[in-house]
Amino acid sequence: MNSTLLVAIGPWQIVLIVLVVLLMFGGKKIPELMRGLGKGLKEFKEAKNDPNKEIEEKDDN
């Protein structure tokens, strides 16, 4: 991740983003959205590691 992006976003910008998300989706939808985001990240990590696992399995055989 680019560290300059993290420096450019301050605490007030994060608060503003959270408020906008709350206004757009409402409080009840946010846990559902976060759950979907978590599942997506998990699938991405698994897909990223799959080629490495396949290579290791081929080396073992």
Q: Position of tokens 């709350």?
A: 22
0.85 surpassed by pTM: no
Question: What CA–CA distances, in Å, run from 53 to 28, 42, 44, 50, 59?
Answer: 39, 16, 14, 5, 10
Q: What is the pLDDT of residue 4?
A: 57
Question: 3-state class of 61 per DSSP?
Answer: coil
Among candidate residues 31, 9, 11, 6, the one with its CA nearest the CA of residue 21:
31
Per-residue pLDDT tens over the stretch 23-61: 888 888 888 888 998 999 999 988 887 777 777 777 666
Residue 5: pLDDT above 70? no
